[in-house]
Amino acid sequence: MPFSTPLSIEDIGDRLQCRFRRDAGADLTRTYQFQIAGEDHFHLCIVKGTLTIHQGAHQTPCVTMFFPDVETALGILEGSIDPMQAFLDGQIRSDGHLILALQLGSLFHQ
């Protein structure tokens, strides 16, 4: 199922690329899987300061993040939604390496 929002995977990629902190990801190799309720999934690959965004599921992500909608996922990455509050409110959850999930926000300018 494609995204029901007017955002395409290219739109998501453009929004995240301009906020990605290459310095913070310079020594990292990670894959973050994003599962959006009722939507296609996408994943972020960070390899030594380079961010790529791909539609679909990754076979072996470091962590999988579950969101109710694309806007919540982008809001957390872009800094308009407090991730800790969203977690406490039950809006988001994660599966996999919890420390990596908590570090995700530090990879993007707020």
Q: Supply the CATH number for residue 21's domain.
A: 3.30.1050.10
Whether 42 maps to a domain, the answer reads yes
In a domain, 102, yes or no: yes
Count of the separate structural domains present in the chain: 1
Tell how strand 29-36 and strand 42-47 pair up: antiparallel
- The stretch 77-99 carries a mean pLDDT of 87
Domain that holds residue 78: 9-107
* 50 part of a folded domain: yes
Residue with the bigger pLDDT between 68 and 8: it is 68
- From residue 39, how far is each of 1, 13, 36, 87, 101 by CA, in Å? 6, 16, 5, 20, 21
Please tell me whether residue 50 adopts helix, strand or coil conformation. strand
Closest to 99 (Cα-Cα) out of 39, 36, 22, 28: 28
Record the pTM: 0.86
User: According to the model, what pLDDT value does residue 1 have?
Assistant: 46
Q: Is 69 within the bounds of a domain?
A: yes
pLDDT at 60 over 60: yes
Phi and psi at 103, nearest 5°, equal -85, -10
